[in-house]
Amino acid sequence: MLARPDEIAAIQWYHTIELPGGVVTPGFYDHRPLLAHLPLPASLAGQRCLDIAGSDGFWAFEMWRRGAREVISVDLEDGSRQDWQGASHARRALAASSGRWEGDTGRTRRGFELARAALGADVERRDVSAYDVSPKAVGTFDFVFMGSLLLHLRDPVGALIAARSVTAGRFLVLEPVLLSLSLLFRHTPLASLWQLDEPRWWLPNIAGLRRFVHAAGFRVLDSGGPRAQRFGRAFPRLPPRRRPTFSELVFWSLVRPLGVPSAWVLAEPVASAAQLPADEPPARVPALGWI
């Protein structure tokens, strides 16, 4: 089924998704260039796959394209249920009333359903928090993917522990990282706390991301980055005000044109604490791999 232009335009897209008929959704982010740099199996034939915090469904549909036997995507239907810093109730109400995507109830569901229908994809969507993922809620999976979620969580390790509980095979996480701390402290796990009252919390360096995964009871198999998560057509190219702050100037002059520095970690669950290595091997951090 071909998606109509007016249907596409009526949705504020998070993901850039290629649909039949040459249609491409105008997303905030465009993850297509990243596919060649992630250890996402070329074939997922016969495997049961889970996409945690799947938003519009880019990664879930990609796993379906790669032959997965079953794909489930979980995310919050109501964006106001996200973890907010500060006076959360007031800010959630403001986000919902202003139409910001964080508070737009059902926004990701609408995008997901439109894309699924256009693709003819056999992918299921469920309203489940990352914290509530469990064998009872969704079963277990051969391959589990989590993308750009930990930044938005008050308890990132808690969500990773939940992901581990449903991972029977491999787990892949892709997450924004602090480039400066990744280059200056390659072997020391560090993270910076977001300094605004938004649904954003911890931004680690690459070693910190690996440590998050290790702390949740996974065995880290490999990691890579930094790589750029590119912005899509829907993300503004210019700052919203004429006199941006220094941090805003850095974002709009460097991060906006180049993308968000990010890293990935591939892991598998361990059956017991005795199987978990006491120390993580050092992260591999190429100096300019994110550009």
| Contact predicate 167/140, CB 8 Å | yes
Closest CA to 174 of 259, 288, 272, 96: 259
Q: Stretch 177-206: mean pLDDT, rounded?
A: 91
Q: Stretch 139-165: mean pLDDT, rounded?
A: 97
Place of tokens 């919390």: 201
pLDDT of residue 160: 98
Is residue 291 one of the residues assigned to a domain? no
Is residue 245 one of the residues assigned to a domain? yes
pLDDT of residue 102: 47
Q: Is the pLDDT assigned to residue 29 strictly greater than 90? A: yes
Return the CATH number at 199. 3.40.50.150
Is residue 286 one of the residues assigned to a domain? no
Is residue 106 one of the residues assigned to a domain? yes
pLDDT of residue 43: 98
169 band by pLDDT with thresholds 50, 70 and 90: very high
Name which residue leads in pLDDT, 21 or 88: 21
**pLDDT digits over 114-143, tens only?**
999 999 999 999 999 999 999 999 999 999
- Give the CA distances from residue 225 to residues 145, 159, 206, 228, 276, in Å, rounded to whole numbers and listed in that order: 17, 22, 8, 8, 24
pTM, full prediction: 0.88
pLDDT of residue 291: 46
**Number of domains within the chain:** 1
Whether the bond between 240 and the residue before it is cis, its omega within 30 degrees of 0, is no
Is residue 87 one of the residues assigned to a domain? yes
Is residue 162 one of the residues assigned to a domain? yes
Alpha-carbon distance 74 to 126, whole Å?
5
Q: E strands within 3-155? A: 13-15, 18-19, 23-24, 27-30, 48-52, 70-75, 123-127, 141-147
In sequence order, the 6+-apart residues with CB closer than 8 A to the CB of 67 are 43, 44, 45, 46
Tokens of 265: 């970690």
In sequence order, the 6+-apart residues with CB closer than 8 A to the CB of 25 are 8, 11, 13, 15, 16, 17, 19, 56, 111, 115
- Give the CA distances from residue 156 to residues 41, 61, 77, 140, in Å, rounded to whole numbers and listed in that order: 25, 25, 20, 20
What is the rounded average pLDDT for all residues in the chain? 88
Is residue 220 one of the residues assigned to a domain? yes
278 band by pLDDT with thresholds 50, 70 and 90: low
pLDDT of residue 164: 98
pLDDT of residue 107: 75
Q: Poorest-confidence range of 169-178, 206-215, 236-245?
A: 236-245
Alpha-carbon distance 35 to 149, whole Å?
18
Tokens of 27: 């997303």
What is the span of the domain harbouring residue 25? 5-37+46-274
Measured CA angle at 275 (ends 272, 277), to 5 deg:
130
Q: E strands within the chain? A: 13-15, 18-19, 23-24, 27-30, 48-52, 70-75, 123-127, 141-147, 167-176, 191-193, 202-204, 218-231, 260-269
Is residue 285 one of the residues assigned to a domain? no
Give the end-to-end CA distance of the chain in Å, rounded to a whole number: 37
**pLDDT digits over 34-87, tens only?**
999 999 999 999 999 999 999 999 999 999 999 999 999 999 988 778 888 876
Name which residue leads in pLDDT, 227 or 285: 227
Q: Poorest-confidence range of 9-18, 174-183, 274-283?
A: 274-283
